[in-house]
Structure 1
């Protein structure tokens, strides 16, 4: 059996693994990345962020076309089935894979395709395609294997009408109806996507409101617009069992409610991909969700073995995972890191319309008894939104009444995930640099969506007395 030695071996080529590998390679280390699938990019590129957002974009373009008065005479002639829209995402995925692979080649990072498992704290075995096995050893390891949809044992995911957020991307037809169990980020995104295709959607939420980590006003707006699209939302429901039939599925809830639809999308949680790593061989144990406990430097109980991204637990966002990977790469290369990961990072939720937020919500500020005020701009009054026809939504700034420090930013509407970064940059300024007046004392291009910051800031200042 062959054996090769590296400075660091990264297991997984998603955002976290890529971030670590690039940082280490630029520090002059000999790095190998082990990828279990036949292409780099991880779940983010192949089953998660990229395909679902490409799908959402295609559906948004279709909706924009149908809404545009210029095409009223042909709008009903355009029909798009779910598989057609998915094919549009294939081009993007392939280009992402080519781009990421060029990064590895350019930085002389060796990519090893195969399934990795630990033999001891310094060695792994990689089962290559075709049954060939080889041993790799290194001074440091970075576990960045990502996560997969959680599948309870009592749900038959082999049934052709039962899907999770990975397998739904292989759906070969547009269903007439579907039930989504789980109203987290993935559940809400797919509810809005499928509703835009005129699919009758039941969104079954295990909690008392949608996306409870967001500002209440934003989630209220999301719920309203989902219902406007025809989505039926049921809160505080837990499943009892799933009945599979030849003509669809029936989700039985503990409350006695039943939901019969063509398909079921199970979107209730994710599990870290640690089950095949043979962690017991090195004395590590993952929790019930497949996650590995780490310290603030993302080190496991073996200081030379790190875990980043979804396998290290929340926030399990592609953006944060990449930064964690870079942080760990610097820690390994230098023995320490002269920068820290930001505590306030934006969330982007690609429903229709989009949601993005950073900082505190009204509920949190009220609980902390912080004197705050609200600055708000409705998109219906923004010229750029009127031009594009995307007038649904708002920008909401929460700021301290006395210091004018921006405490939270919440955006609901088209381009929300882009708009949020302007406010994020100001929030990150030290001392008096974080001030609402910045938006009233600078000049924005006109017409732009960014102008909403000026409108909101003036609205907020007018509320003071």
Structure 2
């Protein structure tokens, strides 16, 4: 029986990163993955394939909508959806190979199968197809990084006809839907809805809350809703889902809803319905009950500030412990757990400064507290709000939508939250994240020289507005 210092269960961004870091720090490390390909949800059916299609569809949108103003003309524009999917699949395959290479490079042993705890220092690995035990291994420490899977509505299942689909199936469609209904106006719903809308689908997004992206600053919700509706995506808020059914003859999907405000019943019809209603932690067949690992009511593994489960030599990270279900959050937790196991003293993760990003067009990003949260805490604050349309680069690039909003403490000028919509917002948010990690003031940001012409100038201008209520270009 092989014996390891550390065994990691799951090879997503949290899992493979923690395995690499552990090996770098001298621990004999193994990783267990139940699927054939490494990389977890993010690399296979999440971040990477969705961003591949988002970029492809964005180029198609620009070719279709923006070429005339740039003096670019052509006789006919066509779309090869199969080729687009093949490109996406090729990127996923290459990324998979990259993770395998990193496992080999860092001398991490790879086991493929389903891991199940026998004791708090031993695991059995079962063949995925036949559930036959194929291996036993022992360990000093273990990190559970098994991730999550798409949630479904309590009265429904994802159907075998692939008309009521999750985000996974949405990345493997053989056709572009004529009418796509998206239930859920969060990150995933907006991104996948955007992909198919750009490619020609009529898209309706249904959100049960009173606004889309409800966990982000209200100003972001309002602005992205306005922008998406101007592009002809239909967005409906405050609707409860009564039922979803497939019409046998036409294979169309009917979604029955009720307006929470006026009680009116309505029906939406599409050829596909994408359920984007959250994700559920994946702990099936892990045998957690065999060793007394505790979970909360929603099924997330409970951990302490050190990311240890109720069995202290077994850690858990990423989606399986809840919080923000983001790949970069899982990576940070993976690094922390590996370093703690190796006897180092890593800094605690500042969960308030885990940035959120959405790859709509334009992009949306946020870090720190929302204005609503700051109000609730009774903090006096200033706001610096700068529209992107004022920048020279916005006009040169024809990307004029959006803004940067900086919220700072009224007395100390410390930056409390930064929220932005615009071109490259998913990259620009890191300036704010670094600044806030070092507890910078908005004046600190203003005093830094920003290159011209760039979209980052909007951060400098918003910072000046935040601490002095003045702007150079507005």
Distance 2:294 2:46 in 1: 26
How do residues 432-451 of structure 1 correspond to structure 2 at under 5 angstroms? 434-451=440-457
1:462, 1:291 → 2: CA distance?
A: 45
Find out whether 1:382 has 2:380 as its counterpart: no
What displacement does 1:337 show? Answer: 2.7
Instruction: Determine the structure 2 residue equivalent to 1:209.
Output: 211
Answering whether residue 232 of structure 2 is matched by residue 240 of structure 1, we say no
Task: Quickly say closer, same or farther: Cα 1:160–1:424, change in 2 above 3 A.
Answer: closer
Equivalence for 1:15: 13
Compared CA separation, residues 333 and 199, structure 1 to 2 (3 A):
same
**For residues 294 and 268 of structure 2, what CA distance do their matches in structure 1 show?**
38
**Could you tell me which residue of structure 2 aligns to residue 339 of structure 1?**
347
Measured in 2, the distance between the counterparts of 1:308 and 1:263 equals 34
1:71 is displaced (CA, Å) by 5.8
Please state whether the residue corresponding to 1:443 is helix, strand or coil.
Answer: coil
- Is 1:249 aligned to residue 253 of structure 2? yes
1:454 matched residue in structure 2: 460
1:446 alignment partner, SS class: coil
Determine helix, strand or coil for the equivalent of 1:223: helix
Q: What corresponds to 1:279 in structure 2? A: 288
Matched, 1:413 2:422: yes
Q: State which of 301, 309, 315 in structure 2 corresponds to 1:292.
A: 301
Q: Distance in 2 between matches of 1:265 and 1:442?
A: 44
- Aligned partner of 2:362 among 345, 353, 375: 353
Q: TM-score, normalised by structure 1?
A: 0.93
Indicate if the aligned counterparts of 1:163 and 1:263 stay in contact, CA closer than 8 A.
Answer: yes
TM-score (norm 2): 0.92
Q: What is the CA deviation profile of residues 73-105 of structure 1, one whole-angstrom value per residue up to 9, with x for unaligned ones?
A: 32x722325443332222221221122222111
* Structure 2 match to 1:59: 57
Correspondence for 1:5 among 3, 6, 12: 3
Q: Does the alignment pair 1:194 with 2:200?
A: no
Which of 279, 282, 307 matches 1:270? 279
| 1:372-404 deviation line (CA, Å, top 9, x unaligned) | 222122211112222221111111111223322
Give the distance between the partners of 1:354 and 1:177, measured in 2 at CA: 24
Alignment correspondent of 2:73 = 73
Per-residue CA shift, 1:98-123, capped at 9, x if unaligned? 22222111110011111212222222
Q: Which 5+ residue runs of structure 1 have no aligned equivalent?
A: none
Once the 2 structures are TM-superposed, how far is the Cα of residue 231 of structure 1 from its aligned partner? 1.8
Cα distance in 2 between the residues matched to 1:203 and 1:9: 42
Offset, 1:128: 3.6
TM-fit CA distance, 1:182 = 1.5
Show structure 2 runs of 5+ residues with no match. Answer: 260-264
SS of 2:447's partner is coil
Question: Residue 117 of structure 1 aligns with which residue?
Answer: 116
Aligned to 1:140: 141
Question: How far apart in 2 are the matches of 1:86 and 1:108?
Answer: 33
Q: CA RMSD in A?
A: 2.0
Q: In the alignment, what sits opposite 2:262? A: none
Matches of 1:130 and 1:358 in 2, distance apart?
43
Closer/same/farther in 2, CA of residues 298 and 239 from structure 1, 3 Å limit: same
> Map of 1:76-115 to 2, 5 A cutoff?
77-80=76-79, 82-115=81-114
Residue 174 of structure 1: how far off its partner (Å): 0.5
Which piece of structure 1 moves more, 412-421 or 435-444?
435-444
Residues of 2 paired with 1:130 and 1:158: CA distance?
A: 20
Q: CA 1:315–1:47 in 2, change beyond 3 Å: closer, same or farther?
A: same
Q: Deviations over 1:299-344 (max 9, x none)?
A: 111111111100011112100100101111011111x634111232
Q: How far off its partner does 1:371 sit?
A: 2.2
Greater alpha carbon shift after TM alignment, 82-91 vs 407-416: 82-91
Q: Distance in 2 between matches of 1:260 and 1:207?
A: 21
**What is the CA–CA distance in structure 2 between the aligned matches of 1:362 and 1:144, rounded to whole Å?**
33
Runs (4 or more) in structure 1 with deviation over 6 Å come to none
Deviation at 1:274, TM superposition (A): 0.4
Query: By how many angstroms is 1:285 displaced?
Result: 4.6
> 1:202 Cα deviation (Å)?
1.5
TM-superposed deviation, 1:33: 0.3
* 1:149 corresponding residue in structure 2: 150
Kept in 2, the 8 Å contact 1:8–1:142? The answer is yes
Correspondent of 1:427 among 426, 436, 451 = 436
Distance in structure 2 (CA, Å) of the matches to 1:229 and 1:83: 25
Q: Secondary structure at the match of 2:204?
A: strand
Deviation (angstroms), 1:130: 7.2
> Deviation string for 1:146-188 (max 9, x for gaps)?
1110134533421231110111111000011011111221112
Q: Distance in 1 between matches of 2:171 and 2:297?
A: 26
Mapped to 2, the partners of 1:287 and 1:425 lie a distance apart of 33
CA contact (8 A) 1:81 1:174 kept: no
**1:451–1:196 CA distance, 2 compared to 1 (3 A):** same
